Structure 1
């Protein structure tokens, strides 16, 4: 619930700033710097994702995205009402929860809104099965969006990054047994339920 927690705290703080009409130019300037920093990290995360890479850790990208959106909410609370594009940009972050609420109240949009909520607000469950110091098998479950875990091969790369090879095995059923053992230096044998396969790791 990292995403939901960060966005909830930032939204409530922004709402408090707006109600109390807080004037803190130094805080607003620092928040802008943070917001632009998290924007840069979010863009980097997106580019890495397009190439099946990511920062180390299961929720690192979500933290960057959440802090980017959360600092946008805070900036809206610290900014004076205006008609310029920058204020409209900040209004999007603050107004996103209201858009979700409106979507839930309108039957034609309810299903789409629920999918958006689970996609953007609720974290997936991850579990990693270590193969060795450089490789691991990752099981990712996305709640109602995915009936069964998706299995990816995680490869340690370049100090802060890892390569993600998705769907190396697709059981399409609840997992009861999982066994792995390396075959030399370039492959791993995976036995998952009735699946017995060998994947290359070099």
Structure 2
């Protein structure tokens, strides 16, 4: 049985199988629960524990981005955006078998909604910047949507992102990265958000590349 609570900030706290999730200094911390009765954890429990830790660690630097990206997704009363995103990742974005499970970045969804997804999106790295391009559709009803850009560095467990960037009609946008990312690989994503910031598009994975 899982005993969970949702804080006002949308974070999960409580017990989930063999692990406990709690908040400390604004971060979600996962730790193994004390072994009650002296029975060792089963492989299924250990696998679940590892999956949760992978997702919590991945979401830590990108909570603001996912909150904006999932803002208009339907959810049951009392269910936080954080919980919706966590469930999405646990279902669709973990690959491998215990103990070698990992995030499947190409299947990560960082935003969901009714807006048009980016068409023909691509990205390139030049001098510490990511240059995103997408096709501008003539007469696009959502031409004033704002682009959302994301870059995640698995090695550093850090993210760089833009929640309200260039308008869709522009067709290109730049995301500047920290110098410490030089020579490292990043996972990249693009999406759109309405200018009123109420509706998003499904995010699109633009690939892995070296900075």
> TM (normalized to structure 2)?
0.24
Higher percent of residues as helix: 1
- Which is richer in strand? 2
TM-score normalised per structure 1? 0.25
Greater C-alpha radius of gyration? 1
